[in-house]
Structure formats: structure tokens, C-alpha cells
Structure 1
Amino acid sequence: MKILQVIPSLSPYLGGPTRVALQLSKSLQVIGADVEILTTDDGTNQRLEVPLNQPIRFKGLKTTFLPRTVQAKEFLYTHALSKWHRNHLKQFHLIHTHYLFSHLPTWTARAARHSNIPYLMRPLGQLTPWALSQSAQRKKLYRYLIENRNLEQAAMIHCTSPGEVSDIKALNIQTPKLLLPLGVELPSLNRPIAKRQLLQKYKLDNQPILLFLSRLHPKKRVEFLLDVVQHLNKQALKINLLVAGSGEPSYEQHLQEYTNVLGISDRVTFTGFIDGAEKNTILQGSDLFLLPSYSENFGIAVAEALAAATPVVITPNVQIAPWIAEYNAGWIIPTDITQWIKTISETLQHPEILLQRGQSSRKLASTVFSWPVIAKELLDVYTNIHQTHTKKLINL
């Protein structure tokens, strides 16, 4: 059984979606699945320097990069896709698309329908009320013309949280839903050393470290965190906020300017994009991970903080929240600034609570968000879909 994973971009600057697509494919490959990736050379603000229109080994995975022809936000049109479909699509027994409202996954799902190839769709949070309210008319038309039929005729819709299942049911989409979370790698823990390294690298005073680590985008509500820091500062509770990530240059500049206006430049450090060992250090060296996002279908950065034994403070809109609550691995607080200030202030004054919830965080990550377990379950799903489809073809 040959499996094709389809995602618009593998740019490292996109953070979670890229890491998930690669790690999911690697985990499937480890247990014997024949997996390939189809994507574009989109590198967010530039293009990835990779060979095009041919399969190559990328991060240990067989991957084909098609040239991005037009970049219209996430749509990422590629003129080469139709030719690739004609020459290669029927080689695959099953297709798993990642993301909606984008040329590569949308038109590949459509081509799979026309070629009678079973496919799964992972919406990546694009069917939440908040996401659908952005460019609402364009998305409504897009769904009417093509995406609804893709969703309705998919073998399954891959949801990564109970909240995502509810969002899709609310749209009256009857397609079977697969509830399967995403995974994270478990790093070796040495939090005291990581803390010292952070203090030294960023020249911080020895005060608690709060961390925001994600793509810099208005929906993540970094401004809200900056307001929280200003209020904590007025209460004479000194903390360090690390803002790790990158985004549109104009938005990055806006955040820098807002920090200056609030008068907290000495308490806030913008690290820029980080990855690898540096990201592991910043996750383990921080006391709390914060994400007050308007909407997250899962929140892979939250799961990575849990794996680093760092408790989290998130909004209910981050749909990993039910697991956080079940394992008591952090705090789920509505975006009310008074409640956030109170929770953070009281928590930082009780290190024993931070330690207990950090231990719960690690247990949650190792129990629920284990890539080997997730890959095994997903491969079983793939196999069942393929076998059912094959029997239908035989009975025609």
C-alpha cells in the first residue's frame, strides 16, 4: 500500500504543521509504511532551495516539491500540479491531505475523487468558527464550489481534538471522523541547566521566565501577553517574557513597537525563529508556557511544552485543552486579563505547584501524544480503508 501525504508547504517557519507532517511520515515509515510527501517549494517569504518536479530524499523521506506559481496567502497555486496528477497519482493506494482552502490539498482530494482513490482530510483547524470568519465570503464560495464535496466524499476526516470533531459536526458534515491527536518527541530532561543557559544567553535577571513560542500571527494574541506583563510589572512582580517565533515583518515590527509603548522592553525578549536544540533549551528553561490564542485545532507547541515538563496556561480555544484538564497539566483560562494576571502571579509564588504540574505535563505527553502509538493506530486506519475500498472494487 503506497500512501501519499499532501501538504502545501514544508517551510520550517510554519512551525507545527511542518513538524507534524514530517514526524508523522517518519513514524509511519519506521513501522513499515510506504510513505511519500507531495508539497511545494514555498518557504513562506522565499522559496526552499530544493530540486523540483522529481522525488528526492528530504529529511529522510521521499518528497516531491512542485514550484509555487502564485502565493495568495495560504492558497499557494502550483501550475505543475495537474501534470503531476496525470503522471503519478494513480500509483498511490491512499492519500492523506493536510490543510483546507489551498490548491495542493484541495485539488489533490478532487483528483482522488475522480480517480476513485480513497483519501483522508486533515483540516488543521480551518473549520473552526473563528477560522471560517476570516475571509468569510471567499471561504464560503470555495466550500460551495469544491471543498464541501471533498469533505463529504472523503473516507474519513482526521480530527486532532474533540473540539475539532464538534466543529465539523456543527457544519452538518456526515463523513466519518477519526479522532487521533498529534505526537511529540520526548526530550531528555535537564531543566536546571536549560534555565541557566537561557539566563546567560539572553542576559536575563534571575526572575521567572514566561514563554510564548509559536508563529507570530494576530490570532495568537501576543499583544494580550504584553498587556499581562505590563500589569505584572506594575504589581512589582518582575518576570521575563520570551517571545519565540517569526511572522510577517510588519507584524513583528508592530509587536516591537507595542512593547516599547507599554514600557516593558526590559522585560520582553524577541528571540526570532528557533528550532532544534535551541528550542528544546527554551522549552525546558521556562517556568510557564503561554498561548492565549483565538483558535488552535490542536496546538503542537503546547504539546512540545508538555513534553519538556513545562506547565501551560492556555485559552479554551486551544483544543488540546481537554487533555490538559484531564491530566491537570496546566491552566485553562478565558482571555480575561484579570484572570490571567491572577493565575500567573499566584502560580509563580508556589514552585511546588509548578513542579507538580510539570510532572503531570510530562506524563500527558508520554501517554497520549506518543508518535509510535499514533502511527500504529493511523496505519491500522489506512489499512482498513484500503481493504474496504478494494472489496468494493471487486464487487463492482
Structure 2
Amino acid sequence: MRILNICAYTWAIGGPARIIYDHTTEVVKQGHQVDILSPMTPGEKMYPVPEGARLIAVARTTPISNVYREFSIDLYKYLKKHIHEYDVVHMHGIWHFGSLAPFLIPSRAVKVITIHGLLDKWAVSHSKWKKDLVTILYQKKLLGQADLIQINNTDEEQDVIRYLGYRPKNMVIVPNGMKLDEYTRSHLPEKGLFRAKYGISPDQQMVLFMARLNIKKGLDLLLPAFQQVHEQLPHAQLILAGPDDGYQAETEAFIRKHRLENRVKLVGMLTDTIKKEALADADLFVSPSYSEGFSIAVLEAMTSGVPALVSDRVGFGDYIARYEAAWLTPLTCDGVAEGLLKILQDKTYAEAIANRAYKMVTENFDIRVVANQLLEEYKKVQKK
């Protein structure tokens, strides 16, 4: 089988790139061929390409792509010339040009769309006028025309039904997975390396936020919540690790206003080894997100043995609740603060949720199992 993934395959995009990487690693082992077609802007850091796969980087077409995400004439030209070579074209996300272009070119390739949480109520309500326009022009129609819609959970199932007004027959629930061995404690760097780089002493409790600096990630809740925590635990340290995505100026203003310069550090986007060093040194991982398709960052933290505070919108809140695998916070400042204090002050509780989280991940999200589930769905729609 020859598979083409279409996604902005960069470190900044986060979870979808990691999901493609892990899935591709597995399916290539089974003899399938995988290409990744990615619109890129000069200077962006490309995500690693799995051994045996191929990355086709095409230029975004500016300034149009600044308004209409991922717009790329070169992407269209590549598809026009090569789409007939693929058995499966897998589009990651909606609302952008990469999820439209394959439908503009006649082909026999199976067309697959992974929603990645982009029909969540919170996500739909932001930049609403653009999404309303895209909905009117083509988005609902294309979801109906896709051979397969992959969703990750029952929450996302309801999002699709609400958006379309019906449950499409072409929709299946297949959770995302990850390569677990890369993030187990035995494979992480030794402790203390990240703290040494950023001047964090061993006696300071380190809270790690690792995501784009975007309002949807819950920073408007986390920052005032951490201010409350700081009043009770003055040595606690909050690390904000991620690129600016529209909320860095507000974050820096909050830090200055409340004189938290020595307690909140913005360290930019972490990749590769330094990302693992941060997880090795963290006492707590926090993600009070309003909207996620399926948070790979949370899975990475849980696999690393870091106790987590998350909202139920991270993409697998039902699993977390069933296993009692994290502090599931309400989306309020006080709720986040309460959870942070509980984990930081109660070591027995922190260790218990970290152990249950590791059990949850290994039993449900091993990429070796999940990749085969998705391959089987590909094969089913091919037969049809």
C-alpha cells in the first residue's frame, strides 16, 4: 500500500506531526510506502522523517496562506502530477487547503480525514467567520465525500454529528498512539540536566507546560492559578515551553504585572533531547486546555512518569477518568490551582496517579496496536 499524509510537518505544529511519525514508523516496517506532503515556511524546523519514508516539502503561497491556512500552489501541483500513484491520501485536520486539494483532482485513491479535535465547540467558535465561510463553500460536503473519517473518541464523535447534523457512515473511532519506549523513564536523560541549563535548583518544584502559547491551551487559567500556588509554595517554578502562537505578549505582561519573573520561565519550543530532559526533571505536567484532538504531549508526560493535571478536553478524558490517571481539572483558575497544590504537596497522591497513567498508556495507546487498527480501516474502505 502506498500512503500519502498531508500535514504541516513541523515541530511547531506539535501532536499531528508526532502522530504521523510514530504511525509511519510502524507501517513502513510492514512493507508499506509512506510519503509526507508538507507546506513549509522558510526557517521552520522540520519534524524528523521516519527511516524509509519520504518528506515532500512544498512552499506555502503567501500572503494567501496567512489567511487561508496551508495554501500552497506547489502542493496542488504535486498532487495534480502524483496523486494517481497513491492508494491512500490521508489529510490531517480540516479548515485548511491541504484538506481540500485532494478533492479537486480526480483519482482512485482512498481519501481519509483525521479531525484532530477541530470540530470541538471551542475550536469552532474561534475565527468563526472564516470557518462559517469554509463550511458554506465546501467543508461539510467534503466530510461526506471522504472514504474514511478518523476520530479519536466519543466526544469527537458528538462534535462531528453536531457539525454535520447526522452520523456519517464513513466515521470510525481509532485513537492515536505513540512509541512508548522513547519516553519511558529508563530511556530518558539523567535527571538534573534541564534544571542546570535554566538555573532551577533541585529543591524547587518544577511545573512543566509544553504547548504552543495559544489561548486555547488554557494559559489564561494557568497563569493566575500559578500565582495562587506561588503564594503558598514560593519556590515552585513554572516552565512554559512552546513557540508563540498569539498569546506570548499577554503571558509576558502577566508575569511583569505580578512580579513573577524569577518564578515563570519562557524557554521557547523544546525539541529532541532537551524536551526529554525537561520531562525527566519535571515534578508536574500541566495542560488545562480548552480544546485538543488528542494530546500527544500529555501521553509523553504520562509515559515519562510525570504526574499530570489536565482538562477533560485533551482527547482521552474518558480514559483518564476511568483509570484515575491525572487530576482532571475544571476549566477555572481555582480548579487549576487546587490541582497544582494537591500534586505538589501530596507525594503519595502524585506517585499514584503517575503509576495509573503509565498503566493507562501502555494498555491503550501503544502505536504497534493502534497503527494496525488504522491500516485495517484503510483496507476496508479500499475493498468497498
1:122–1:49 Cα change, 3 Å: closer
Given that 1:191 and 1:284 are in contact with CA atoms closer than 8 Å, whether structure 2 keeps it comes out as no
Q: Compared with structure 1, are the counterparts of its residues 280 and 130 closer, same or farther at alpha carbon in structure 2 (3 Å cutoff)?
A: same
| Match in the other structure for 1:178 | 172
Deviations 1:40-66 (A, max 9, x none): 2236xx45699xxxxxx9443222222
Match of 2:300 in 1: 304
* 1:235 corresponds to which of 221, 232, 235: 232
State the superposition RMSD in angstroms. Answer: 2.3
- Give the TM-score of the pair, scaled to structure 1: 0.88
5+ residue gaps, structure 1, are 51-56, 389-396
**How much has 1:20 moved relative to structure 2?**
1.6
Would the alpha carbon gap of residues 18 and 251 (structure 1) be closer, same or farther in structure 2, given more than 3 Å must change?
Answer: same
Instruction: Select the residue among 136, 140, 150 that pairs with 1:144.
Output: 136
Within a 5 Å distance, the mapping from 1:253-264 to structure 2 comes to 253-264=249-260
Selected match of 2:204 from 188, 202, 207: 207
For residues 157-214 of structure 1, the C-alpha deviation after alignment (integer angstroms, 9 at most, x for no partner) is 1112221111111222432322111122222415997543333222123122111001
CA distance in 1, matches of 2:15, 2:235: 31
Change (3 A) 1:308 1:48: closer
- Kindly indicate whether residue 3 of structure 2 is the aligned counterpart of residue 3 of structure 1: yes
> Is the contact between residue 21 and residue 49 of structure 2 (CA under 8 Å) also seen in structure 1?
no
Q: Does 1:373 align with 2:372?
A: no
Whether 1:161 and 2:153 are equivalent positions in the alignment is yes
User: Does residue 119 in structure 1 map to residue 120 in structure 2?
Assistant: no
Q: Which residue of 2 aligns with 1:292?
A: 288
**Residues in 2 aligned to 1:110 and 1:353: alpha-carbon distance in whole angstroms:** 53
Residue identity opposite 1:343 in structure 2: G
2:133 and 2:312 map into 1 onto residues whose CA distance is 29
Larger mean CA deviation between 17-26 and 271-280 belongs to 17-26
The alpha-carbon distance between structure 1 residues 138 and 193, as it changes in their structure 2 partners (threshold 3 A), is closer
Could you say if the C-alpha distance between residues 232 and 21 of structure 1 is closer, same or farther in structure 2, counting changes exceeding 3 Å? same
The 8 Å contact of residues 33 and 379 in structure 1, kept in 2 or not, is answered as: no
Contact 1:209 1:241 in 2 (8 A): yes
CA shift digits 1:113-152 (9 cap, x unpaired): x434321111222111111111212211212211111100
Q: Check 1:353–1:194 CA distance in 2 against 1; reply closer, same or farther (3 A cut).
A: farther
2:347 maps to what in 1? 351
Identify the residue that residue 328 of structure 2 maps to in structure 1: 332
Counterpart CA distance in 1 for 2:45 and 2:195 is 33
Whether the 8 Å contact between 1:162 and 1:319 is mirrored in structure 2 is no
* Aligned mates of 2:335, 2:79 — CA distance in 1: 52
Aligned equivalents of 2:139, 2:339: Cα separation in 1:
41
Residue 28 to residue 266, structure 1, CA distance change in 2 (3 Å): same
Contact 1:78 1:103 (C-alpha < 8 Å) held by counterparts: yes
Partner residue in 2 for 1:196: 192
Query: Residue 122 of structure 2 corresponds to which residue in structure 1?
Result: 130
Deviation at 1:5, TM superposition (A): 1.2
Q: How many residues align?
A: 376
State the alpha-carbon separation in 2 of the partners of residues 230 and 372 from structure 1. Answer: 41
* Range 367-376 or range 189-198, more displaced: 189-198
What is the identity, as a one-letter code, of the residue corresponding to 2:111? Y
